[in-house]
Amino acid sequence: MIGLPKSASVMPVARHRARAPAMLRPWVDVRERSAGMSLLHATDPPSVDAAATLSPMSSVQLRGVALGQGRPKVIVPLVGTDLDGLLTTVADLTPVAADIVEWRADLLADCSVAAVLKGAARLREALGERPLLFTFRTRAEGGQQEITPEQYRELNLAVVASGLVDAVDVEHRVEPAAGDAVIAAARTAGVPVIGSVHDFTTTPPADELVEILAGIRQRGCAVAKAAVMPHSPADVLEVMVATRTMVTRYPGFPVLTMAMGGLGLITRLAPQLSGSCATFATVGAASAPGQIPVGELRPVMDLIDAHLPAPAIALIGLPGSGKSTVGPRLAERLGVPHRDVDQLLEQQQGRSITEIFATDGEAHFRELERDLTLELLAAPGVLSLGGGAPMTPAIAAALTGHQVVWLQVDPGTATSRIGSGHGRPLLAGEDPRARLERLLAERGPTYAGLATITVDTNRSSSQQVVDAVVAHLTDR
């Protein structure tokens, strides 16, 4: 049974079909200038001691790969006892569609800090821009060598400080002080941490697995990983349910899970069904039970993706951010339908939003808004959401796996656009700017956590905003 260290508190996005518009391509996690506006995709990972103020991350950027956005990524492990063998495997990777390479350093015959750093330098050069994940798996978690907590700490700190790797695996159950030291150093260096647990004997119940994964998140890791051993189909479902629960409860936070062995193969073949951000496949030897060659995995993932519904593009933001104006123009540009939740809701109810608020109250309106939004998210296209919609937990959870564009606007600019706020019940009866400032304080963190792309609209026309969004959608 997997346990928690003493120091720890307790959507899959389908790859676009061949006929699908470019909007389904994954994002890059960069800051760029386009059409006079700032585009930002990502939030910094939470600090180790800031569990109480954690907010979801949109993705984890590893060079050109955004882990947690777009299609689940394929990670290929490098396993070998000497550097020459590893470099030979790297050469074999050239034609392979592998997104990330994991180096299992515990398999080296010489695991001294000097030898590992030498190997990291050679691998970095050989891999070019392909991301490198460093992993030293302890024997307790299925690794090949014994290592003391101090040695584990020293080795990982040296690798993090070297700047040669793009991410580091830190075992959640390693001695807490050693693990926390590596997490803190990695955060300082800007190296994402994949916090991991491995159980080669059993599968915990879904609720226990969720507790463990949430604990990894709370420690400040950028990704939570769990690999467990199933003994029945029910065990496999426990893993998938736990994964789906995590991505629903913490929208935007990348979770990487798998059930090992032949019984758990479905979790490796179809990570997009549960919401896992990645899967492992082999080029040469496997590093864990159940891994299959990349060449066998990719066609299956392609087949599943081809039959999954395409994700929607959801526009979120304050009143006055331009959702209702940008939405139809963006949809026309992409050749897909546009739907405005507030407008459709008024048509369905035969009365205005203001009248619904006045007659039935905000709580009833939010229920109507929730039901309609969930229905509309089931179809592809551009969806303009009401400003408060993302604050409804069911809507926030449903946005996982969709492209979410936050149209940023300052309260002052929004006020000048909407005037007195007529027709907007939440702005009635008080100074619109003061109310918008409060709404931004309340909603901003949620917007940031859900957004896969953020566009500053303050000094941009609606056409410029559309141009910027399209440019970002088609960038990859």
The one-letter amino acid at 415: T
Residue 455's contacts (CB-CB under 8 Å, 6 or more residues apart) are 37, 38, 39, 405, 406, 407, 408, 465, 468, 469
Residue 322 marked ligand-binding? yes
Q: Which of 41, 198, 402, 472 is catalytic?
A: 198
Instruction: Read off the tokens for 377.
Output: 């998210």
The one-letter amino acid at 472: H
Task: Count the alpha carbons within 13 Å of 169 in the hemisphere toward its beta carbon.
Answer: 25
Residue 59 marked ligand-binding? no
Residue 268 marked ligand-binding? yes
Residue 375's contacts (CB-CB under 8 Å, 6 or more residues apart) are none
* CA distance linking residue 7 with residue 223, whole number of Å: 18
* CA distance linking residue 406 with residue 377, whole number of Å: 16
Is 225 labeled as catalytic in the residue annotation? yes
Tell me the backbone φ, ψ of residue 35, rounded to 5 degrees.
55, 35
Task: Count the alpha carbons within 13 Å of 394 in the hemisphere toward its beta carbon.
Answer: 11
Element (H, E) at 217: helix 206-218
With b for 16 or more beta-carbon neighbours within 10 A and e for fewer, the 216-229 pattern comes to: bbbbbbbbbbbbbb
Residue 119 marked ligand-binding? no
Helices (H), 54-167: 83-92, 113-127, 149-162
Residue 342 marked ligand-binding? yes
With b for 16 or more beta-carbon neighbours within 10 A and e for fewer, the 351-379 pattern comes to: eebeebbeeeeeeebbebbbebbeebbee
Residue 25 marked ligand-binding? no
Counting Cβ atoms within 10 Å, is residue 239 exposed (0-12), middle (13-18) or buried (19+)? Answer: buried
Residue 124 marked ligand-binding? no
Name residue 223's beta-bridge partners. Answer: 194
Is 198 labeled as catalytic in the residue annotation? yes
Residue 387 marked ligand-binding? yes
* CA distance linking residue 290 with residue 76, whole number of Å: 13
Q: Which of 73, 225, 338, 472 is catalytic?
A: 225
Binding positions are 102-104, 137, 268, 287, 291, 320-325, 342, 366, 387, 424, 443
Binding positions for Mg(2+) are 324
Q: List active site positions.
A: 198, 225
Binding positions for 3-dehydroquinate are 102-104, 137, 268, 287, 291
Binding positions for ATP are 320-325, 424
Binding positions for substrate are 342, 366, 387, 443
